[in-house]
């Protein structure tokens, strides 16, 4: 009951702020836009120039999938900043709910939406075939990335104005998903340390069991310290 009440309050808070509502719905708009581009622009370019953009379909899919936690994580990050400004974070830490349950409730909305949006993006775009188990694993990773983005924003920004600047920089982390396209060994090695790299890697190499373990470890190495860190 407490969880549902908290969730309802979150939805009300988002609806009251147009920017946050737009960010929450933006992944659906991006999915629709890319679907339109696939249907109309790709055949046009192929007919005119012989360029087949679908050759890079795994990376296009990766880009769209990574935009989901990137945008939703900003929503949660802003909500955390609002809570901090109103001293709500400290208040929850001394209530029976505790800090842990407060964080679970705060992250649940965007984490669940990231999971659902991942499936919507995959089945709407129909870009690249991914095994069902792999898609489920990707959805879990992307849900965790929404939490990572939210916490990075919350820890790094003192207010929403700075948060907007930080948000632009955080979405730049998606570039590591395309590291292998640059044919720079050193850049690829550095990218191993970033969660976004493993999204495209798993999509392309879904039959490599070690990639699942490595991606999980990297995501946990980012997530666990951020959750434990206090500000």
Q: 112-165, pLDDT tens digit by residue?
A: 999 999 999 999 998 889 999 999 999 999 999 999 999 999 888 877 777 777
Do 99 and 92 touch, CB atoms closer than 8 A?
yes
Question: What average pLDDT does range 187-202 have in this prediction?
Answer: 95
pTM: 0.90
C-alpha angle 203-146-78 in degrees, rounded to nearest 5: 155
Q: How confident is the model at residue 73, as a pLDDT?
A: 93
**Residue 176 in this model has a pLDDT that exceeds 90:** yes
Mean pLDDT, the chain, rounded, equals 86
Closest to 75 measured CA to CA, from 102, 48, 111: 111
| Cβ-based burial of 17 (10 A; exposed 0-12, middle 13-18, buried ≥19) | middle
pLDDT-based confidence at 97, cuts 50/70/90? low
Question: What average pLDDT does range 59-79 have in this prediction?
Answer: 93
Question: What average pLDDT does range 7-24 have in this prediction?
Answer: 75
Closest to 158 measured CA to CA, from 91, 231, 104, 222: 231
CB neighbour list of residue 68: distance below 8 Å, 6 or more residues apart: 27, 114, 117, 118, 121, 142, 146
pLDDT-based confidence at 225, cuts 50/70/90? very high
Question: What average pLDDT does range 13-40 have in this prediction?
Answer: 87
């Amino acid at each position: 009951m407490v969880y549902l009440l908290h969730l309802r309050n979150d939805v009300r808070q988002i609806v009251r702020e147009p920017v946050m509502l737009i960010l929450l719905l933006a992944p659906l708009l991006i999915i629709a836009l890319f679907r339109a581009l696939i249907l109309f622009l790709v055949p046009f370019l192929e007919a005119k120039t012989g360029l087949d953009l679908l050759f890079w379909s795994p990376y296009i899919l990766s880009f769209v999938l990574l935009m989901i936690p990137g945008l939703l994580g900003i929503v949660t990050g802003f909500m955390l900043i609002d809570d901090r400004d109103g001293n709500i974070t400290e208040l929850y830490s001394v209530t029976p709910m505790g800090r842990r349950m407060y964080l679970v409730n705060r992250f649940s909305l965007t984490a669940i939406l990231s999971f659902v949006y991942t499936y919507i993006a995959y089945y709407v775009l129909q870009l690249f075939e991914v095994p069902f188990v792999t898609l489920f694993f990707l959805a879990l990773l992307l849900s965790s990335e929404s939490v990572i983005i939210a916490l990075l924003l919350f820890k790094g920004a003192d207010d929403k104005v700075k948060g907007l600047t930080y948000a632009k920089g955080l979405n730049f982390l998606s570039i590591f998903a395309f590291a292998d396209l640059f044919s720079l060994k050193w850049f690829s090695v550095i990218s191993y340390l970033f969660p976004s790299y493993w999204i495209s890697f798993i999509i392309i190499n879904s039959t490599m069991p070690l990639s699942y373990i490595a991606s999980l470890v990297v995501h946990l190495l980012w997530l666990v310290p951020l959750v434990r860190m206090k500000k």
